[in-house]
Amino acid sequence: MFATILTSAAGALATLLLGGLTYREIIRRRGATALKITNPEGIVEQRFVRIGGVDQWIQIRGEDRRNPVLLVLHGGPGSSYAVFTLPMRSWEKHFTIVQWDRRGVGKTLRRSGRPGSGEITFDRMVEDGIELAEFLRGHLGKKKLILLAGSMGNMVGAPLVKRRPDLFHAYVATDLYVNMQRNERLAHQLTVGRLRAAGNMKAAADLEKIGADPAKWNRRAWALNLAWLFRTSLPTPNPDLNLLLPLTLTSPLYSLRDVYNWFAGFQLTKDRLFDEIMAYDVRALGPRWEVPIFVLQGESDVITLTTLARQYYDELEAPAKGFAVIPNAGHFAAFSQPEYFLQELLEQVRPLAELRA
């Protein structure tokens, strides 16, 4: 009898798994169709480039090679933004978009493995970014690029632009961390308040147990705080599960092994960079920028607080600058509201590249 039950359970599990894989393949094929570029002036490339002694994966897509180049720096710090290629599809009419899996991340991790990833620090990634920007200038025939950094991608993007402003038309920061300690302290306080208002006293008590001082947190405490930030995120809870995860699992760019390495890279880089992340303060770079800078934030971002991003923006000195709030968006503002975000890019940023091409 017990053996019969086990056999039935195994059969049911296999049926569910097969059904899930079949559904995944249907969605992947639809995505691949939506991503086709047939314009003869277009460009579609996936390749590895030797950067800093590591083969690093990039994707280049756009409908017209004459368009400005938009280099995207993913957050995470190990969450490849290539999974957002579909939501960004309309952007490819106006920009040539470069996605980059940094060392220890995604397809780059799959190629190199952990031992071959080399040094994983933000400073090393900045040096990698300089090499990549130089390669793209030659490969795509552009004097300068536009840099778009999301979330912890700004921990690479900000020092990169500061170090080599000559490479960029403009810097676009979204989901911006300013001072990590201040951000996490205030976010913790606000999250406890949201949990109490929702009647979830147990979760509020669990968060209060780790304390309100991020300087005293270990990796586990930070992960708990971050988990509840996402679960209570506005306007939609769990943007990591409701937006990021489905795109990762069904991306036409990713095999199942790629999916595994996406998650492995997220964990690897988070662990290696924990101390640097918790010590991060963009103000240490100074208020003066040599390139135009634009800060585009979700109006309800409870993870990288929009209030702190606005305060920082007000302190900036740059040849040109702009601030915009993306309506009905929290974290991942560029990808949850891609059309609103694109409109800001077209109105504020793309003209600078056209004038200085």
Give me the pLDDT at residue 231, please.
95
pLDDT category at 11 given cuts 50, 70, 90 is very low
Give me the pLDDT at residue 18, please.
58
Give me the pLDDT at residue 330, please.
95
Report the pLDDT averaged over residues 241-263: 94
Sheet containing strand 96-101, strands side by side:
43-51, 54-62, 96-101, 69-73, 145-150, 168-174, 293-298, 321-326
Give me the pLDDT at residue 6, please.
37
**Residue 12 in this model has a pLDDT that exceeds 70:** no
SS3 (DSSP) at 332: coil
The Cβ of residue 53 has, within 10 Å, a number of other Cβ atoms equal to 13
Domains of the chain: 43-179+238-356 (3.40.50.1820), 182-231 (no CATH)
The tally of CA atoms less than 13 A away on the side-chain side of residue 95 is: 25
**Residue 46 in this model has a pLDDT that exceeds 50:** yes
Report pLDDT digits (tens) over 192-248. Answer: 999 999 999 999 999 999 999 999 999 999 999 999 999 999 888 899 889 999 999
Q: State how far the Cα of 276 lies from the Cα of 198, in Å rounded to an integer.
A: 34
Report pLDDT digits (tens) over 162-174. Answer: 999 999 999 999 9
What are the backbone angles phi and psi of residue 143, rounded to the nearest 5°?
Answer: -75, -40
Report the pLDDT averaged over residues 320-349: 97
**Residue 15 in this model has a pLDDT that exceeds 90:** no
Distances (CA, A) of 252 to 21, 231, 263, 270, 332: 13, 27, 17, 26, 21
Report the pLDDT averaged over residues 41-57: 98
Give me the pLDDT at residue 67, please.
97
pLDDT category at 8 given cuts 50, 70, 90 is very low
What are the backbone angles phi and psi of residue 94, rounded to the nearest 5°?
Answer: -115, -20
Write the CB contacts of 151 (distance below 8 Å, at least 6 apart in sequence).
75, 76, 79, 174, 175, 176, 177, 303, 304, 331
Report the pLDDT averaged over residues 346-355: 90
Give me the pLDDT at residue 234, please.
85
- pTM higher than 0.85: yes
Give me the pLDDT at residue 2, please.
37
Which amino acid does the sequence have at 340?
Y
Give me the pLDDT at residue 20, please.
78
**Residue 74 in this model has a pLDDT that exceeds 70:** yes
Report the pLDDT averaged over residues 165-190: 98
Give me the pLDDT at residue 355, please.
55
**Residue 95 in this model has a pLDDT that exceeds 80:** yes
Q: State how far the Cα of 337 lies from the Cα of 249, in Å rounded to an integer.
A: 20
Give me the pLDDT at residue 356, please.
53
**Residue 125 in this model has a pLDDT that exceeds 50:** yes
The Cβ of residue 140 has, within 10 Å, a number of other Cβ atoms equal to 18
